Amino acid sequence: EGWTHTKIIDTISKGTNKYHMAYKGNNKVSLQCHDVKAFTSLKAELLAVNVPYHTFSRKEERTAKVVVYGLPDSDMDEYLKEELQVLGFDKAEISKLKSKTSKTQTCPYLITLPPGSASVAKFKQIKYLCNCVVQIQ
């Protein structure tokens, strides 16, 4: 039993009626929901009827990553973690990055912010960390 236009519409309509649909060829259909509530209900319906699908994670679900330049190459992990906690980024994960070409005495740090935490824009406003002028990318 194949998928007809009517069957596709009926299946989707059980989950939501707030969507845009486009046929992509090769038996593929593209759906874009109008809001998060429609997306979650459609996703639940597709799971319930065992329909294979692919989706992308929403921006709110992704972890944000930024690189901080300008901190000394010494053991700054504890100081950096404490300072980020004071600034409101208490669940940030800190990783020291290796730089083969760097001739300076600074080391880049990768800061991973958990999903739904403080925004990257707020983090990028930071100009000083651990008494050092930093650049954030």
Domain identity same for 40 and 86:
no
Domain identity same for 85 and 22:
no
Domain identity same for 85 and 105:
yes
pLDDT value of residue 103: 66
Number of domains in the chain: 2
State which residues of the chain have pLDDT below 50.
none
Burial group, residue 43, by CB count within 10 angstroms (0-12, 13-18, 19+):
middle
Is the Cβ–Cβ distance between 73 and 132 less than 8 Å? no
Compute how many other C-beta atoms are within 10 angstroms of the C-beta atom of residue 70. 18
Token readout for 98 is 């290796």
Domain identity same for 70 and 44:
no
Q: Which CATH number is 121's domain given?
A: 3.30.70
Written in H, E and C, the secondary structure of 105-116 is CEEEEEEEECCC
Domain identity same for 41 and 80:
no
The pTM assigned to this predicted structure is 0.64
Domain identity same for 24 and 71:
no
Instruction: Classify 12 as helix, strand or coil.
Output: helix
List pLDDT tens digits, range 38-55. 999 999 999 999 988 888
The parent domain of residue 68 ranges over: 61-136
Domain identity same for 48 and 67:
no
